[in-house]
Chains A and B, each alone.
Chain A
């Protein structure tokens, strides 16, 4: 099965600081997704990466997928309190297309 390791488990940053969250897979990724969640609520889709070396940005959030398609990073620039929440990476392997597995999540706290 696809296993995703996400780090760090939790992160506390001062408002305005940059931060990075990593997601590493034991297998080659077919598709890598980043989500934001507040516990007890649904997931908000952030970005999807499929190609090796791909990079996407949305507002102050940038996600990258490495060339080998086994590691992704999510970078937030000039963090704000609105960025606080749980960030989850999700992935599907090409042998189980359509079925996602998820990392354990990173809880981000942004101090004003």
Chain B
């Protein structure tokens, strides 16, 4: 089936630094990818929709300048958490629509800001 590779799986960064998370579709082209955030024991919350070649669409309440999304190719979308703070610590997951396979999710990135 369709595979979405997400990297890194875990990252620890210092407060005030930026962190980039990559999401790649390995065997299909993804014109649209989705970024989610998940807090412990809570469901996934959609942050933004990433569109290849155009600006991302952010959900209400998500800071565009803090969570920068770039979708420069049909197989790669990146999420950059800028000037990270401890409250940004969370689990981030990307997904893409893989045709008949429906949604395919990355394995997630656990971000810890210290």
CB pair A100–B34 under 8 Å, yes or no, is yes
Instruction: Give the distance in Å from the alpha carbon of A92 to the alpha carbon of B40 in the complex.
Output: 23
State the total of A-B contacts with C-beta under 8 angstroms: 54
> Which listed residue (B6, B104, B107, B108) contacts A45, Cβ 8 A?
B104
Task: Judge whether A39 and B41 touch: CB under 8 Å.
Answer: yes
Residue of A nearest to B108 (CB): A42
Name which of B13-21, B43-51, B67-75, B76-84 contacts chain A. Answer: B43-51
Contact assessment for A40 and B108 in the assembled complex, using a CB-CB cutoff below 8 Å: yes
Number of interface residues of B (CB under 8 A): 23
Task: Classify chain A's interface size.
Answer: 20 to 34
State whether the Cβ of A48 lies closer than 8 Å to any Cβ in chain B: yes
The verdict on B110 contacting chain A, using a C-beta distance below 8 Å, is: yes
Contact call A103/B43, Cβ cutoff below 8 A: yes
User: Shortest 4 CB-CB distances between A and B: which pairs?
Assistant: A42-B107, A43-B105, A102-B43, A104-B43
